[in-house]
A and B are shown apart, each in its own frame.
Chain A
Amino acid sequence: MKRFATLIKQLDSTNKTNAKVDALAEYFKVAPAKDKVWTIAILSHRRPPRPVNTTLLRTWASELANIPLWLFEESYHIVGDLAETIALIIPNSTTNSEKSLTTFLEEIIALKQKPEAEKKAYLFQNWTKLNYYERFVFSKLITGSFRIGVSQKLMTKALAKATGIDQDILAYKLMGNWNPNEISFNDLVLEEKASDYISKPYPFYLAYALEDKIEALGDVKDWYAEHKWDGIRAQVIVRDRELFVWSRGEELVTDKYPEFEVFTELIPDGTVLDGEILPFPKGQIGTFNDLQTRIGRKTVSKALLKKTPVILKAYDILEWQGKDQRTKPYSDRRKKLEELYQQVQQSGDNPLHLSQKMTFNNWQEVAEERSKSRALHSEGLMLKRKDSPYLVGRKKGDWWKWKVDPLTIDAVLTYAMRGHGRRSNLFTDYTFGLWNDDKSELVTFAKAYSGLTDAEFRQVDRFIKANTVERFGPVRSVTPELVFEIAFEGIAHSKRHKSGVATRFPRILRWRKDKKIEDANSLEELKNLIPG
């Protein structure tokens, strides 16, 4: 535990990714094998089941700190993290524990079955005995989610550095269902298997947003246009009769989309496709809201699969018959993709769809097509030069995104909540309201957390602290006074929202210091923006 707590302290002592990778890599070189497996498990969110519910944790922690429960709750709202609050309010100890991380985790797993009195005794014993960082880590292990500013990707990078094994291979090895209690470090990480390599994706080619006038792209005949769909960018790999689905975050998400399993029968070995995973409820492309029900689920229920199936809207082919196609012109790659698509189509209904490629006679026609985007649930257009190779990373020149402008509306700040993590103790999570019909009331329509500079956040934070009307736990209602221009990508009717409207990716565009609350828009005006 001492070593692991020291690692967390080191990660907490730097703001630089490279220094974090170094600290973690050093840990992976020297820690006992079993602890390493647990560290990988914890940092990839494979935590043991929570042995004590948070109500009991709060009650017991406030008891040990000798403060009333309400005072613990207030502190928690301000600190913004339960384990951190517990570590802070319990009187400090300078001793540490010689027990290993693995021993602690075994004890925590066993704790779940113990009677309440034993649980309490175990927590009190450790809370009073451990020093600050150990107490923090211990409490994190008990509360579950171990978010400490170390992503799975950063962890994988460090593990690659410590072992010399390729990062993508490691990402593959670490995916899926493995039990840290049963697997060895050797089996999980070190042992080389030929099968590790068949999952390897290509780096994604990413486009910049178009800055210039569209005409600056030159001859319209040199370009293909496609609609830009709002889903999850993914690479689909079929090699050795096995399927691998990688998201753009370089995360293996194969298990989340079981409907693609059929590709192993339809698509020949040695094929890599680039495309967009899209929701397809009722045989039509849905909204991102629909897809949201699928993201973040490790296992998908049959009911959900039926309600919100997904498709792959393919737009590129990166590997064909085991050969890298990326240096070939896009037009050639498209032709191969279309041939493959025709072939797959013959086997009947399946989740492979083709992204429609469009050609136009002039840029005016392109602009007209773009204006239809919102009604089609697309975000705008992608423009790809016909002779472009498939590059690595975000590059200018051959691919451009030409999104439709976001919708905007002026709304009034009505409620605020303190942020979490790096925004804890600062009011950064805002709720916005629009006027009802007779302008007598502000109706909540969206929450937004981003779009202001740090300096503006501090100003708004001060305003909120000075203009609080009522407090509801962590939430405060504030005097309606500040007007913000809120931008959003999409809009739809919604039964779940009080306003009757759901907006996609609302964020603050700017602070309208020039506007009074009377100048803010109404809910009616928002509803007029809904297409159709």
Chain B
Amino acid sequence: MAKKPLLQFTSKGIYCPPAKVYLDPWKPVDKAIITHGHADHSRWGHKQYITHHTNVPIIKHRLGDITVSGKAYGETFLINNVKFSLHPAGHIVGSSQIRVEHQGEVWVFTGDYKLEDDGLSVPYEPVKCNGFITECTFGLPAFSWVPQQQVFDDINQWWSTNQAEGKTSVLFGYSLGKAQRLVKHLDTDIGKIYTHAAVENMNEVIRPLADLPATTRITKDTTKKELLGNIVIAPPSTHGSPWIKKMVPYVTGSASGWMAFRGARRRRAIDKGFVLSDHCDWHALLKAIEATEATTIISTHGYTEIFTKYLQELGYDARTEKTQYEGELSELEQKKESEVTE
């Protein structure tokens, strides 16, 4: 008789039957281990949350009064005799991969991740396992990131040029993760960094956890004149909203993996696209999989069918499972409840 799988894909989320615990479930459950603070991974309504301790203030900020316990990276904890531990995923501050071990079998669930050190979150560490459950938001060979220093040089250059032309730079990035990564690497010799309320609220949560340069919250008292020539970090949903009128004359930019496609930028009517993602590109996904030495690979979200077919050709036991994770797409396309404009 075939052994029952250690992790099952159910209508509520990824479930570990012997431990009776869910990983990043999308429906309310009793006990959930959470990889990171983005809305599609840490949802409202679970009785008990377990996550990395730097993620605790982040999800508390988003979800309010919840029962949550924080763990350190590499710290082993047992639930019903199943061994769990969290390991850095390098996606955003406080993000983890979840390692599950039971009766000699090891599985790793990545949540979202990237290999490049972003200078803000603890860098990704490969974890050896038998089965690897991976995202593949950018699982196409058309996605190939350049080192972030090059992207930030471009962003700072763009800001300087806009300033010289008497314009304010408005740079879009989702408020948890991308916004802080942008803030961290902007050249404050050029000017001041202003932030949308949703971004600044998150900055306040992150500031005790990571070293961030000074930022100024835009309020109704902020004048057009003081903004001029400076840079504004705002969630993508503010593009085209009345809120942004205060920045006139402005130039818009967007920092996202999707900006690799000319069409994606043009569709959003954004002036300048910067290809900067908190997810793996094609080569990073393949490199990460190889490093785990896993033989079974399950893709959860992104270009799953294409990616899985390729892995099968490489000889992996690969398959796709439907989840409700959305990756960077949702960050860019959807209005978040936390991003209500002033």
Contacts and interface: CB of A to CB of B under 8 A. Distances in A.
Interface of A: 12-16, 19, 65, 67-68, 70-72, 74-75, 78-81, 84-85, 88-89, 91-92, 149, 419-426, 454, 458
Contacts of A72: 141
Contacts of A89: 141-142, 144
Nearest to A426: B267
A68 B313 contact: yes
A66 B257 CA distance: 22
A458 B333 contact: yes
A425 B264 contact: yes
Contacts of B306: 71, 74
Given A80-B263, A84-B261, A425-B263, A16 B271 contact: yes
B270 A15 contact: yes
Interface of B: 140-144, 146, 158, 251-252, 258, 260-267, 269-272, 303, 306, 309-310, 313, 333
B144 A88 contact: yes
A84 B141 contact: no
B263 A424 contact: yes
Nearest to B146: A92
Taking each of A80, A88, A454, A458, which has the highest tally of chain B beta carbons within 10 Å of its own beta carbon? A88
Contacts of A70: 309
Given A71-B306, A80-B263, A85 B142 contact: yes
B310 A71 contact: yes
A143 to B, nearest CB: 14
Contacts of A71: 141, 306, 310
A70 B141 CA distance: 12
Contact of B144 (A13, A80, A91): A91
Given A81-B263, A421-B266, A425-B264, A92 B144 contact: yes
A14 B142 CA distance: 23
Given A65-B141, A67-B141, A75-B140, A12 B262 contact: yes
A74 B140 contact: yes
Contacts, number: 76
Contacts of B143: 88
A79 B142 contact: yes
A78 B142 CA distance: 9
Given A74-B306, A78-B142, A92-B144, 10 more contacts: A12-B262, A13-B272, A15-B252, A16-B271, A19-B271, A65-B141, A67-B141, A75-B142, A419-B263, A424-B263
Given A78-B303, A79-B261, A420-B263, A15 B269 contact: yes
5 contacts: A15-B252, A79-B263, A85-B142, A89-B144, A424-B267
Nearest to B143: A88
B141 A14 contact: no
A29 to B, nearest CB: 18
A149 B306 CA distance: 30
Nearest to A74: B306
Contacts of B141: 65, 67, 71-72, 75, 88-89
Contacts of A422: 263, 266-267
Contacts of B252: 15
Given A71-B310, A75-B140, A78-B140, A421 B263 contact: yes
Contacts of A68: 310, 313
A421 B261 CA distance: 9
Contacts of A78: 140, 142, 303
A11 to B, nearest CB: 10
A30 to B, nearest CB: 18
Contact of A15 (B142, B158, B271): B271
B18 to A, nearest CB: 31
Nearest to B150: A94
A14 B263 contact: no
